[in-house]
């Protein structure tokens, strides 16, 4: 897989380089609440601008329905990217239309332009190969046949989309530093990790992570379960979980996992229960066997934190994906904080699997350098660990 250094050795001064970045940041109105993904894109963009490339960045934000939608505009991202680069980043008003052509045409050496949200064009995510290819052709026409393509949005490499996959079949493709480092780290986990190897999975739904749980159980020493999906596991053990989040259709499959791998699966022993889903709800710490009727578990309890921390303290390799509770509410953040702190305090090679986990690290004020690697792509990380082929990586390796 050719990388950014290979491209730079060829020389890029004056050439257009199309960079697919992952700039899908959380917004409160037009305010970015976590700019981690923007910051993660900086090293690749800076290397290209320093080398004199004309950098054209394409990215998505949220899930617009294939049409322009002001609430999903990349305007706040363009402003923040410009602030961090200490230069103006021109934002095109469309994806491949007149504004994009004008903005790209005016780019000078070492400057950066950002195309508007690529998902404003329905062809980006189309299941129809011809439609995606048509958009890819227009992106190539925008930057020119002599342009290069740098894939640096790890959070989207598991998607077969026009700006991720089809463009790489038309332009000389290179892995950006971010994608390269992500793949290298995850291959460490899927190869021969140092043991004990502990995986911590949280989040809301068992169904979202059932595949990766099945794939990981034969490979790990312990798999620790937290978050909303823990209640389906607890129900499979026969516990009454009150009004906690529960996937009834997953109970039988989850019970089979417990029967087959019960020695490896570690569940909470207590929870912080609430009388309603609200930041100011009445709370009480209860055993997982004694969740009151009408109440719901919204975080793991202190004894669970101690149990999980003891396991993590002895680990040599850790992968964590998914918060232990509703960390956005202060009353239910201590479980996630406790798990994260235990990982930081361990001597393990530790990987945070993107998404809400990475956001929690920053939101809870934990030291990012306390982890060996914080991924920018939760879904991509999980699919990689599950053993799925990632289209955006395969195409760079010549397999697409």
Tell me if 163 is assigned to a ligand binding site.
no
Residue 253, Cβ density class (10 Å: 0-12 exposed, 13-18 middle, ≥19 buried): middle
Q: What pLDDT score does 268 carry? A: 98
DSSP state of 166: I
- Four-way CATH pick for 4-180: 3.40.50.1260, 3.40.50.300, 3.40.50.620, 2.40.30.330: 3.40.50.1260
Q: How far apart are CA 372 and CA 352, in angstroms?
A: 8
Percent of the chain exceeding pLDDT 90 equals 90
Please say whether the dihedral angle defined by the alpha carbons of residues 118, 120, 121 and 123, taken in this order, is positive or negative: positive
Is residue 217 within 8 Å of residue 225, measured between CB atoms?
no
Backbone φ and ψ of 149, nearest 5°: -115, 130
Q: Is the pLDDT of residue 400 over 70?
A: no
Helical (H) or strand (E) element with 317: strand 317-321
What's the mean pLDDT in 95-112?
98
Tell me if 23 is assigned to a ligand binding site.
yes
Tell me if 362 is assigned to a ligand binding site.
no
Tell me if 195 is assigned to a ligand binding site.
no
Q: How far apart are CA 259 and CA 217, in angstroms?
A: 12
Please say whether the dihedral angle defined by the alpha carbons of residues 184, 188, 189 and 191, taken in this order, is positive or negative: positive
Tell me if 62 is assigned to a ligand binding site.
yes
Q: How far apart are CA 400 and CA 396, in angstroms?
A: 8
Length of the chain: 400
Q: What pLDDT score does 45 carry? A: 98
Tell me if 109 is assigned to a ligand binding site.
no
Is residue 17 within 8 Å of residue 147, measured between CB atoms?
yes
Instruction: Give the residue, 129 or 366, on which the prediction is more confident.
Output: 129
Catalytic sites, residue numbers: 37, 205, 355, 379
- Four-way CATH pick for 191-386: 3.40.50.1260, 3.40.50.300, 3.30.565.10, 1.20.1600.10: 3.40.50.1260
Whether 191-386 and 4-180 are alike in CATH topology: the answer is yes
Contacts of 156 by beta carbon, 8 Å cutoff, 6+ apart: 20, 22, 60, 164, 377, 380, 392
Sorted by where each begins, the domain ranges of the chain are 4-180, 191-386
Q: Give me the chain's average pLDDT, please.
A: 95
Is residue 114 within 8 Å of residue 94, measured between CB atoms?
no
Q: Is the pLDDT of residue 41 over 80?
A: yes
Q: Is the pLDDT of residue 145 over 80?
A: yes
Condensed to tens digits (0 to 9), the pLDDT of residues 307-340 reads 999 999 999 999 999 999 999 999 999 999 999 9
Q: What pLDDT score does 238 carry? A: 95
Q: Would you place residue 217 in the very low, low, confident or very high pLDDT band (cuts 50, 70, 90)?
A: very high
Q: What is the dihedral of CA 164, 151, 383, 226, to 10 degrees?
A: -120
Condensed to tens digits (0 to 9), the pLDDT of residues 238-278 reads 999 999 999 999 999 999 999 999 899 999 999 999 999 99
Condensed to tens digits (0 to 9), the pLDDT of residues 176-191 reads 999 999 999 999 999 9
Name the nearest CA neighbour of 2 among 145, 151, 155: 151
Tell me if 93 is assigned to a ligand binding site.
no
Tell me if 159 is assigned to a ligand binding site.
yes
Q: Would you place residue 198 in the very low, low, confident or very high pLDDT band (cuts 50, 70, 90)?
A: very high
What's the mean pLDDT in 39-68?
97
Tell me if 297 is assigned to a ligand binding site.
yes
Looking at the chain, list the stretches that DSSP marks H as alpha helix, in order from N- to C-terminal side.
4-10, 36-50, 75-85, 98-105, 129-143, 177-190, 206-216, 230-236, 251-261, 302-313, 334-345, 355-363, 378-386, 391-394
What's the mean pLDDT in 50-58?
98
Q: What pLDDT score does 354 carry? A: 72
Please say whether the dihedral angle defined by the alpha carbons of residues 320, 322, 325 and 328, taken in this order, is positive or negative: positive
Q: How far apart are CA 265 and CA 209, in angstroms?
A: 14
Residue 162, Cβ density class (10 Å: 0-12 exposed, 13-18 middle, ≥19 buried): buried
């Amino acid at each position: 897989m050719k990388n950014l250094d290979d491209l730079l050795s060829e020389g890029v001064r004056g050439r257009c380089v199309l960079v697919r970045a992952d700039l899908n940041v959380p917004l409160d109105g037009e305010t970015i609440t976590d700019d981690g993904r923007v910051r993660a894109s900086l090293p690749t963009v800076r290397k290209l601008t320093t080398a004199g490339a004309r950098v054209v960045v394409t990215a998505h934000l949220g899930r617009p329905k294939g049409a322009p939608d002001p609430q999903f505009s990349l305007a706040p991202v363009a402003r923040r990217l410009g602030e961090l680069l200490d230069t103006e980043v021109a934002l095109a008003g469309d994806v491949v239309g007149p504004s994009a052509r004008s903005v790209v045409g005016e780019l000078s050496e070492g400057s950066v332009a950002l195309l508007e949200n690529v998902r404003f064009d329905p062809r980006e995510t189309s299941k129809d190969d011809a439609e995606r290819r048509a958009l890819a052709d227009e992106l190539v026409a925008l930057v020119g046949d002599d342009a290069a393509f740098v894939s640096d949005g790890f959070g989207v490499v598991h998607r077969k989309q026009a700006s991720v996959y089809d463009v790489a079949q038309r332009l000389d493709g290179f892995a950006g530093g971010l994608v390269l480092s992500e793949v290298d780290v995850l291959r460490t986990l899927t190869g021969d990790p140092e043991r004990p190897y502990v995986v911590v999975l949280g989040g809301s739904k068992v169904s979202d992570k059932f595949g990766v749980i099945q794939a990981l159980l034969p490979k790990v020493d312990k798999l620790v379960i937290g978050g909303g999906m823990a209640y389906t596991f607890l129900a499979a053990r026969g516990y009454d979980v009150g009004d906690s989040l529960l996937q009834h259709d997953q109970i039988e499959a989850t019970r089979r996992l417990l029967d087959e791998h019960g020695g490896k699966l570690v569940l909470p022993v207590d929870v912080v229960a609430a009388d309603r889903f609200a930041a100011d709800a009445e709370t009480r710490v209860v055993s997982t066997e004694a969740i009151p009727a009408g109440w719901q578990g919204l975080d793991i309890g202190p004894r669970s934190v101690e149990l999980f921390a003891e396991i993590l303290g002895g680990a040599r390799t850790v992968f964590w994906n998914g918060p232990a509770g509703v960390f956005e509410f202060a009353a239910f953040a201590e479980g996630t904080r406790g798990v994260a702190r235990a990982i930081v305090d361990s001597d393990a090679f530790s990987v945070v699997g993107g998404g809400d986990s990475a956001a929690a690290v920053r939101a809870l004020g934990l030291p990012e350098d306390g982890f060996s690697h914080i991924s920018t792509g939760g879904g991509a990380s999980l699919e990689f660990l599950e053993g799925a082929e990632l289209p955006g990586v395969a195409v760079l390796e010549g397999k697409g």
